[in-house]
Amino acid sequence: MRRRHGLLTLRREDGRIVCERVRVADTMLRRMRGLLFRRSVQSDEGVVLRPSFSIHTAFMQFPIDVVFLDQDLRVLRVAASVRPFRTASCRGSREVVELRAGECERRGLRVGDRVAWASATPAAPPGPTAATPEFGESRRSRGLLASRDARFLKLARFLLDGQGIDLIGSVQPNALVGALDAAERPDLIVLDVHEEAAAGFATANAARALSPDVPIFLVGAPDVAARAAVGVRIYDKWNETEELVAAITAALAAEAAYERPSA
């Protein structure tokens, strides 16, 4: 199945959105291109260059804000309104985010802020092609579970199978990133943070960095889900199974609609 290139949402650690749609530039060609050849960029658009610690704006047609992130996704530097034919760099940066000029000020992003990546689901195209696909028409989707809770693993297997999703494996949360190096990539990941939200977020961010086009659904104990920051969705793994299944099927339907060739 053809994969769309990575599309992510950049949020602060407290859940507030910095940029809704960030394209991933993770090859030399994509990093060199960045936002080149664009006449403009929308307020909800951006590009993340990874790995990178410097950028140039040669031949660009508009200024941009440039955000430098370290390996822990903490903002090291914000270069505001960098004009065409300029350079910017930051020692220790692992990722560089390019945004429309003025967005960092408008959204209040500052040096020292910590951010997180989340999967961005593209809007489904209008008309009949946006309908929920019949998964049996092609291969079944594949899911990967990451949990230490044997009871939840049993429940999750049942839920995924009921939606026509094959389980390609279950791993401990700390082994998730290594599992993504396997030849067979999943179409979705369910990650059980249990009662360790901070560790779960770190694992999810590491997995998204490796597979930005694979949606990750976080679940946890009831009290952890209730305390989740605004904009960060953690499903109560015992009491919100219907909501979790609805989110999974919606994400798969949007992916199928995106990939289905137009008539």
Residue 164, domain CATH: 3.40.50.2300
Domain presence at residue 231:
yes
Of 119, 150, 184, at which residue does a domain stop?
Answer: 119
pLDDT for the residue 137: 44
Q: Are residues 115 and 141 in the same domain?
A: no
Query: β-strand 141-146 against 188-194: which pairing, if any?
Result: parallel
Domain housing 163: 136-259
What does DSSP assign to residue 94?
Answer: S
For the chain, the domain total comes to 2
pLDDT for the residue 260: 56
What does DSSP assign to residue 259?
Answer: H
- Residues contacting 217, CB < 8 A, separation 6+: 188, 189, 190, 191, 235, 244, 247, 248
Q: What CATH code is carried by the domain that includes residue 106?
A: 2.60.120.1140
pLDDT for the residue 101: 95
pLDDT for the residue 139: 65
Mean pLDDT, contiguous 10-residue spans, the chain (263 residues): 60 85 81 72 91 89 95 94 94 95 94 85 43 48 92 87 86 90 81 90 88 90 82 86 89 72 48
Provide the H-helix boundaries in 39-95.
Answer: none
Domain presence at residue 127:
no
- Residues contacting 84, CB < 8 A, separation 6+: 57, 58, 59, 60, 61, 62, 63
Q: Are residues 145 and 251 in the same domain?
A: yes
> How many Å separate Cα 15 from the centre of its chain?
13
Q: Are residues 140 and 91 in the same domain?
A: no
pLDDT for the residue 123: 45
Q: How far apart are the first and last CA of the chain?
A: 18
In this prediction the pTM is 0.52
Q: Are residues 24 and 110 in the same domain?
A: yes
Domain presence at residue 187:
yes
Measured CA to CA, the distance from residue 255 to residue 259 in angstroms comes to 6
Domain presence at residue 108:
yes
Domain presence at residue 85:
yes
For the record, the structure tokens of 251 come out as: 């994400």
Of 70, 89, 119, at which residue does a domain stop?
Answer: 119
pLDDT for the residue 87: 94
Of 53, 85, 119, at which residue does a domain stop?
Answer: 119
For the beta carbon of residue 258, count every other beta carbon within 10 angstroms: 17
Domain presence at residue 1:
no
